[in-house]
Amino acid sequence: MSAANLPQPAASDSVRMIRLMGSVSLICGLLIVGTHIGTMEPIRRNQEFITKETVSALLPGVDKQAVYSLVNGDLQPGAQPNVPVLYAGFDKQGALIGVVIETSERGYADTIKAMYAYSPDLQAITGFQVMELKETPGLGDKITKDPAFLDNFKKLDVTAGPDGKPAHPVVTVKHGTKKNPWEVDAISGATISSRAVGRMLAKSTATMLPLVRKNLDRIRKGN
Amino acid sequence: MNTQSLGHIFIDSLLINNFVLSVFLGICPFIGCSNKLSTAWRMGVSVIFVITVSSVLAFGTNLMLVALGAEYLRIITYIVIIASTVQLVEMFIKKTSPALFRALGIYLPLITTNCAVLGVALFQTAREYNFAQSLVFAIASSAGFALALILMSIIRERLELSDIPDTARGTALVLMLAGTLSLAFMGFAGMGAG
Amino acid sequence: MPHDHGQPAPSPAENMEAFLDGLWKQNPVFVQVLGTCPTLAITNSVSNAVAMGLATLFVLVCSNALVSAVRKLVPKQVRIATYILIIATFVTIVDYLIKAISVAVYKALGPFIALIVVNCIILGRAEAYASKNPVGKSILDGLGMGIGFFIALFSLGSVREILGAGTFLGFPLFGPNYQPWVLFLLPPGGFFTLAIWLMVFAAWKDRKKRREVKTMAEAA
């Protein structure tokens, strides 16, 4: 075998070790950086594709999309990290169909992340889609696909009150007791997950809708 | 950005999403070190120690990596941090409390291969916790690990003299018990969801 | 494949053995009970199990190859650190590749991709096999162990998805009236399914041993 098994002076041994660790780190570093640069573009495209798809699904007939970020209570064009983001969708004629807003709330098992569509003309929520959840399969995950539950969000009333917030906050009621257009009919057997959806919409509409309304003219013009 | 309250994170990672019984991290030491109560609590204490320290270090390192735009080095730096934390904690305990060192002695090096340690560092980054949240998360989830380990060791001590079919002896039995414990812990889900 | 000096080229039979050992006789999950965390966490659907199995296979083969290639250069004192560095590199690469291929898969596996670093199968193979054997054999060993791990994940994932959701790879199997046994998708189901598989293997080994004893007794 090589010199490794022979007794060596300590100094040259550690030099050897450092040189070896250095060259291994160099190879590893090059491999990682290469992959990082090589995959940057497809990763960005993938993520853009998913949000675009969701926005199109929530706002039927959408042709053009614009992104805004909420920075210190103000709307700014473009997506920025670590702040709430909203997407505006326009039809072929360039008229605003609605905005899509991200929201999240603690559910039964873990945080549920979702997006909902808001139409300024109808003053109502017109669509709701769960992006991420870990709710109990077969029970809590019904909030993603139960047709009767999703019907709640075809036109959920969030008409503005005097302070710009919805006059009647969105609230989840027990299955089969929905009376008002701002109530969400819970799924029986998935009450906690359904309530989480109601809470996330109530919270998000209270902060986001006044801002959307304040900046509506700017959003309509697309800048 | 993550707006979960500290109390919520604590209950969540201690009971609801218990690291061993629900997230499946640290299963190897859970199976390996749960045959005696005395072993289990020592292992548990060592893990709480190491996870808390490495979580703080990982938080600082992540800030640095983000500032440098070098997030792609995260996995490598975290694993280096954990290996050195274990070494540091070992030296620290040896200096400050020889009695504790004698008690924990052989368990400390084993922790490097405990995936719960890397798990805490990765989860706190993925969930974008701030410093206080990370700290509570680290303490609660490692305490959750210790809790599961201690519960299992108590059950296994009781079963020592029972007559168990040959095929179920060893790991299979531990997994069956863990499944039952996990079922029991599912009862905690929904706490804090209102 | 780089030619290895000083050692005779391994025979095809030896190569075959290096490959086959991991599949069944030394199956990393069912026989050695290693890598239990991802085995339990990622097997609630067949597609997740397949993705995790392939990711681990990739890391295992690459790290075995590189560890074996540098095995004569690495001094004993720093070998574990070097292996971990090599493994972490390939895990980072696989992390980015999965993100680039499919965001849905990336979200389903979550931090468990990064946790491949601490999967004891990989470090175990680096230390026990790749550090002592030529590159070709180490790659075969990695393939065998990786496929063995894949088989284990796949069999757990199948049982859990079929019982827990009544589907296989998302296709419904039993018609609309099947009431799924949700427990198997939940964490306890993971523990129970692995326990049952381990018992099946133990019973199989037990039977084989008894049969061997019987034939020996008959011969004598």
How high does pLDDT run on average in chain A?
A: 81
A33 touching B (Cβ < 8 Å): yes
For C195, which of B28, B175, B186 is closest by C-beta distance? B175
CA distance C9 to C79: 25
- Give me the mean pLDDT over the A173-179 stretch: 83
Phi, psi of A128 (to 5 degrees): -150, 130
How far apart, in Å, are the Cα atoms of B36 and each of B39, B125, B137, B150, B166? 5, 34, 27, 9, 21
Looking at residue B177, what is its pLDDT? 94
Block residue for tokens 């309304």: A213
**How much is the pLDDT for B151?**
95
In angstroms, the Cα distances linking A38 to B106, C17, C55, C142 are 44, 37, 18, 26
Residue of B191 and B47 predicted with greater confidence? B47
DSSP A187: P
**Measured in whole angstroms, how far is the alpha carbon of residue C217 from the centre of its chain?**
37
One DSSP character per residue, A9-22 reads -HHHHHHHHHHHHH
Domains of chain A, by residue range, sit at 59-220
- Report pLDDT digits (tens) over B33-90: 888 898 888 889 889 989 999 999 999 999 999 888 888 888 889 988 888 888 888 8
pLDDT digits (tens, 9 = 90+) for A34-62: 998 888 888 888 888 888 888 888 888 88
Q: What is the pLDDT of residues C94-141, one digit of tens each?
A: 999 998 888 878 878 877 888 898 888 898 899 889 999 999 999 999
**Burial letters for A99-138: b for 16+ Cβ neighbours within 10 Å, e otherwise?**
bbbbbbbbbbbbbbebbbbbbbeebbbbbbbbbebebbbb
Question: Which A-chain residues 123-142 have CB contacts (< 8 A) with chain B?
Answer: 136
Higher-confidence position of C177 and B134: B134
pLDDT at C18: 76
Asked whether the beta carbons of A124 and A155 are under 8 A apart, the reply is yes
pLDDT 10s digits, C40-84: 988 888 988 999 999 999 999 999 999 999 888 888 777 888 888
Side chain identity at residue C138, one-letter code: S
SS3 content of chain B, % helix, strand, coil (to 5): 75, 0, 25
For A69, phi and psi rounded to 5 degrees? -115, 150
Is the CB of A6 inside 8 Å of chain C's CB atoms? no
Taking contacts as CB-CB distances below 8 angstroms, the residues of chain B near C188 are: 179-180, 182-183, 186
- Per-residue pLDDT band for B126 (boundaries 50, 70, 90) equals confident
Distance CA B87, CA B77 (A): 15
User: For residue B131, what pLDDT is reported?
Assistant: 93
Determine, for residues B75 and C91 on separate chains, whether the beta-carbon distance falls below 8 Å. yes
B122 DSSP 8-state letter = H
Whether the CB of A20 is below 8 Å from some CB of chain C: the reply is yes
For the beta carbon of residue C83, count every other beta carbon within 10 angstroms: 24
Q: In this complex, is the C-beta atom of A107 within 8 Å of any C-beta atom belonging to chain B?
A: yes
**Cβ distance A112 to A193 under 8 Å?**
yes
Long-range contacts for B166-169 (Cβ within 8 Å, ≥24 apart)? B166/C202, B166/C206, B167/C199, B167/C202, B167/C203, B167/C206, B168/C195, B168/C199, B168/C202, B169/C202
A32–B contact, CB cutoff 8 A: yes
Among the partner-chain residues B76, B114, B171, the one whose CB lies closest to the CB of C89 is B76
Q: What pLDDT, on a 0 to 100 scale, did the predictor assign at position B192?
A: 56
Of A158, A164, A106, residue with least CA distance to A132: A106
- What is the arithmetic mean of pLDDT over A162-182? 83
| Residue B35 DSSP class | S
Picking from B135, B113, B115, B114, the residue whose alpha carbon sits closest to that of residue B124 is: B135
- pLDDT confidence of residue C219: 82
Write out pLDDT tens, residues C130-166: 999 999 999 999 999 999 999 999 999 999 999 988 8
pLDDT at site A1:
41
Q: Do A192 and B194 touch (CB under 8 A)?
A: yes
Of A21, A39, A136, Cβ closest to residue C82: A21
Lookup: tokens for B140: 């609660």
For B188, which DSSP code?
T
Q: Say what the pLDDT of residue C2 is.
A: 43
Which residue is it, tokens 């929530």?
A58
Choose among C77, C92, C182: nearest Cβ to A138. Answer: C182
Q: CB of A133 within 8 A of CB of A141?
A: yes
Say if A111 is an interface residue toward chain C (CB within 8 Å): no
- pTM here? 0.81
* Token pair for A83: 């702040």
Minimum distance, in Å, between the CA of residue B160 and any CA atom of chain A? 35
- Position C135 scores a pLDDT of 93
What pLDDT score does C1 carry? 39
Q: Is C124 helix (H, G, I), strand (E, B) or coil?
A: helix
Mean pLDDT of A82-110: 81
CA distance B36 to chain A (A): 32
What is the band of C6 on the pLDDT scale with cuts at 50, 70, 90?
very low
**Greater model confidence, A8 or A106:** A106
Distance between CA A22 and CA A24 in Å, rounded? 6
Output the pLDDT for position A138: 62
In percent, the amount of chain A with pLDDT more than 70 equals 89
- Whether A175 shows a pLDDT value over 80: the answer reads yes
Q: Where are the domains of chain B?
A: 6-184
C166 to chain B, minimum CA–CA distance in Å? 21
For residue B121, give Cα distances in angstroms to A55, B90, B114: 33, 20, 12
Measured at the CA of C106, the angle between CA A63 and CA B125, to 5 degrees, comes to 105
Higher pLDDT, C138 or A1: C138
* Cβ contacts from B onto C, under 8 A: 107
How does DSSP classify residue A160?
Answer: B
Residues of C in contact with B167 (CB under 8 A): 199, 202-203, 206
C108 SS3 class? helix
Share of chain B above pLDDT 70, in %: 96
Domain boundaries, given as residue ranges, for chain C:
12-172+179-219
**pLDDT given at position C160:** 92
Torsion region of A189: left, alpha or beta (phi above 0 gives left; psi -120 to 50 gives alpha): left
Flag whether pLDDT at A191 surpasses 90: no
